[in-house]
Structures are given as structure tokens and as C-alpha cells.
Amino acid sequence: MIGPLFLAVEPDEESKSLLAQMLARAFDDEWPLPGKLSPPDNWHITVRFLGSVDDVTLDRLMAGLDEATLTEPVWPDGPIGVELRGVGTFPRPDNATVLWVGVESEPLIELAEAVEDLATSVGMAPEERPFRPHLTLSRVRPPQDLSDLVAVEWGRLRFTVDHLTLFRSQSETGGVRYEPLERFDI
């Protein structure tokens, strides 16, 4: 078994830098982002959480991703456009444990649907929760009421993604590191 694994897209380095600057302007020392902040190097948008996967299933999944069946004919015109805007929380603003940036992208939703179809076709259990694209900013422990925070308009950021990455989550002292294992062009 290998894991825990997930498939994700990432903002490019310029977009990560711009996002960090935009958030710094909106949230400052007087009104900081709460919780344990995720470092920009860890910023990603999970397309499908895989968990721990046996070697055979992982090989079948990777072969399916290599065949490039995910990208045709869903978006034949190139990279996927993504827009980040607004902040939200899980499970809800008045009892938040996760603070995230919202993601808008119909092609990304279509990619997630294609990945889900592929994952279930190679024997993985269907995802139990609906796909809600987001970029995690922080984990909040204990839960807090962040209702005022989610009302803040901090701006919008657009970028494109041209690949999907298979990551392994690695626990380290003081946090988590996401190790890229394989890249699949989209």
C-alpha cells in the first residue's frame, strides 16, 4: 500500500506569489488569518483524494491517466482556466475547522468527474462527498466562528493549469509536506 495519495492541480509560482500578496493586503496583523496556515508550497486544489492505494490499483489508475483519456474532448483548446475568489470554511462559518479560498472552473469540475470515473473503473470506492474545489489556507483548531471573515472581498485571481499531479502526503515535524510522484498533462 502506498499513501496517503491524492491528485491535484496547483497554481504556478507567480500565481502563488500574487495570492499571498492579495491575502496579506486583505488580512493583516490587526485581522490575521486564523489557524495553522498552509505554506504556499503546499497550496493546491485536490481533484480526487485517493488515500492508501495498493500497487495494482495504483498502476491501473496511472495507466489510465497516461492514456490522456481525461482531456479529450472535454477541453481541446489547451490549459484549464481557474479563478480563485472569496474565502469559505468547512464545515460551516460559525464552527470552522478549515479556511479555504473558493475555486471557480467548469473545466476543473469536468476533470474531477473524469478522474472520478477513472478511479471507480479501476476498483476504487466512489468518493462519498461531492467535489467542492477549494484551496486550503489554514486548519483551525479548536473550531472558531469565522462568519465575519468569509464576508471579506479580497479580490480575484485567475491562472491556468496544464497538468494534474499525483501527490503523497508526508507527515513531518511541524506539518505536512506533499511529495509529487507523477505528473499527467491535461
Helix (H, G, I), strand (E, B) or coil at 29: coil
163 is catalytic: no
Q: What percent of the chain has pLDDT over 90?
A: 70
DSSP string, 39-99: PGGG--EEEEEEEEE-HHHHHHHHHHHHTTTTSTTT-TTSSEEEEEEEEEEES-GGGEEEE
- When the candidates are 1.10.3720.10, 1.20.950.20, 1.10.645.10, 3.90.1140.10, the CATH number that belongs to 2-185 is 3.90.1140.10
pLDDT of 29 reads: 77
Closest to 23 in 3D by CA, of 141, 133, 149: 149
Report pLDDT digits (tens) over 40-73. Answer: 999 999 999 999 999 999 999 999 998 855 545 4
**134 noted as active-site residue:** yes
Confidence check: pLDDT of 95 > 90: yes
Q: Domain limits of the chain?
A: 2-185
Give the active site residue among 16, 44, 48, 60. Answer: 44
In the DSSP assignment, the letter for residue 174 is: T
Catalytic residue among 60, 105, 134, 136: 134
Whole-number pLDDT of residue 155: 82
Bridge partners (DSSP) listed for residue 177 = 170
Mean pLDDT of all residues in 15-24: 91
